[in-house]
Amino acid sequence: MSGRIGVLISGRGSHLRNLIACCKRGDISAQVVVVISNRANAPGLQYAAEAGIESIVLQHHSFPNRETYDQQIAKLLTDRKVDLVCLAGFLRLLSAEFVRRFPQKIMNVHPSLLPAFPGLHAQQQAIDYGVKLTGCTVHFIDEGLDSGPIILQNTIELIAEDNADTLSDRLLPVEHRTYAEAVKLFFENRLQVDGRKVIIRRAR
């Protein structure tokens, strides 16, 4: 039986589209079973519709606080027996209670080599700092900001002509590849968390 993925989005959904494609090709032994967006106009919802995947719009401003909102998302994911929650451009911080509901089962990709440049505008942060290499990080979510155990990282070189937009465009395919690989490893049961370290076990 293949694994079950729930994806949370807020925007264009390019990571969602990539994960759907990887699952359909059999690169990942899982399927995306539900997509939840906090924005009704998120373009990524179209990818879910085209793939025949259940999509749910749950607008956060309809709830009195973050905790209540997150409780509803958690219920939707639990009801659908989701094994892994993938954040794909979900522009909301998750509450500590939500994170505790899915220990080491929430994954995110960030466009920098964490712990460098957490938070928003990571590409511009890298350019402003003058680094020669940047990249992306796939990590498990914990209760901090972009601070969870690191699963995989990949790098690219900055070039003199880079601005935040061009760097983002060059980095995105690397993010797609790295995120898909991390999800694949998860469903192969090859990820072992030991404190801050994620150990990747050899394939059987």
Q: Is 176 a catalytic residue?
A: no
- 152: β partners: 138
Count CA within 13 A, CB hemisphere, residue 116.
19
Q: Which of 3, 36, 114 is nearest to 13 (CA)?
A: 36
* CA 106 – CA 159 distance, rounded (Å): 33
* CA 49 – CA 45 distance, rounded (Å): 6
Catalytic residue among 15, 60, 61, 110: 110
Q: Are 177 and 154 in contact, with CB atoms under 8 Å apart? A: yes
Angle between helices 164-187 and 14-25 (to 10 degrees): 40
Catalytic residues: 110
